[in-house]
Amino acid sequence: MSENNTNDMTAVAQAIGQLSGELRVMHQSLTAAIEVIRDDLRRIENSSHDRMDKMENNLNHRIDGIGVRVTALEAEDKRLIEKVAGLSALGGTIGGALAAAAVELIKRM
C-alpha cells in the first residue's frame, strides 16, 4: 500500500471515530433532555392529580353539606305538614260544632 492510501485510511478512521464520539454525545444529550421532559410531565401529572383530588374533596364536602340541609328541610316540611293537618282537623271540629250549634239555634227559633 502506498503512503497516501495509508494516510487516507488513517484520516477516514479518525473521521469515523470523531463522528462516533459526536453521535454518542448527541445521543447522551438527547437522552438527558428526554428525561428532563419526562420529569416535567410527571410533575405536571402529579400536580393535576393533586388539584383534582382537592376539587373532589371540596365538592364532596359541599354535597355532604347540601345533604344535611335537605334533610333538615325535609324534617321541617314534615313538621309543617303535621301542624297544618292538626290545625285543619281542629278547624273542622270547631266548624262542625258551630254548625251543630247553629242548627240547634235554628230549631229553637
Q: Per the confidence metrics, is the pTM higher than 0.85? A: no
Report d(CA 54, CA 61) in Å as an integer. 11
For the residues 4-23, what does the mean pLDDT come to?
90
84-85-89-94 Cα dihedral, nearest 10 degrees: 0
pLDDT band at 106; cut points 50, 70, 90: confident
Task: Give me the residue spans of the domains in the chain.
Answer: 1-77
Tell me the residue ranges of DSSP E strands in the chain: none
For residue 107, name the pLDDT band (cuts at 50, 70, 90): confident
